[in-house]
Amino acid sequence: MQKDISMTEIATFGAGCFWGVEAAFQGVPGVIDTAVGYSGGETPNPTYKDVCTDETGHAEVVQVTFDPAKVSYEKLLDVFWKAHDPTQVNRQGPDFGSQYRTAIFFHSPEQEAIAKKSRAALETSGKFKRAIATEITPADTFYRAEEYHQKYLQKRGAASCHF
């Protein structure tokens, strides 16, 4: 039986190493699919090796296909904020470089408005002592990462890649 994807939306998030970020979204009811890849840079068709040079401008991202009748974009943002430290600039944990930046790539004016409102609420919440570093920019071309990166933790029976 084929899934009806006619009423789906796409959300794209960068929050450090894409393996753990992808895992955070996989169990969310209403998420239909996830794919890891690269976005936000200048180099066309980058490879993982290219992105790791920190010279392509791309972030490691997760593209989330979701059913907005079952999960809201706001809920996906909640997962995003909890999946990483949005105050870190160009790093998450032991990983550093611009490919690990915190970023929301919006696909519509509605997503942009919701993301900005969500970031502003987090900034004023007092949850973090440092400023939120998350960039909110228009979605650019999504370059799917190599197949061995897709569902990486799931293939290995791991829940996360955090220490």
Parse the chain into domains and list their residue ranges.
Answer: 9-155
What's the burial of 93, exposed, middle or buried (CB within 10 Å: 0-12/13-18/19+)? Answer: middle
Catalytic residue among 17, 79, 83, 139: 17
The tokens of 80 are what? 């995003």
What pLDDT was estimated at residue 1?
46
DSSP 132: P
> What is the arithmetic mean of pLDDT over 106-119?
98
Q: Which residue has the tokens 């990462």?
A: 145
What pLDDT was estimated at residue 157?
67
120-163 pLDDT, tens digit each: 999 999 999 999 999 999 999 999 988 777 886 677 666 556 53
- pTM: predicted TM-score of the whole model, two decimal places: 0.90
CATH level 3 topology of 9-155 = Peptide Methionine Sulfoxide Reductase; Chain A (3.30.1060)
Taken in order 33, 37, 18, 116, the sign of the CA dihedral is negative
Residue 161 bears catalytic tag:
no
2-48 pLDDT, tens digit each: 555 569 999 999 999 888 889 999 989 999 999 999 999 999 999 99
What pLDDT was estimated at residue 151?
80
49-77 pLDDT, tens digit each: 999 999 999 999 999 999 999 999 999 99
Coil, helix or strand at residue 35: strand
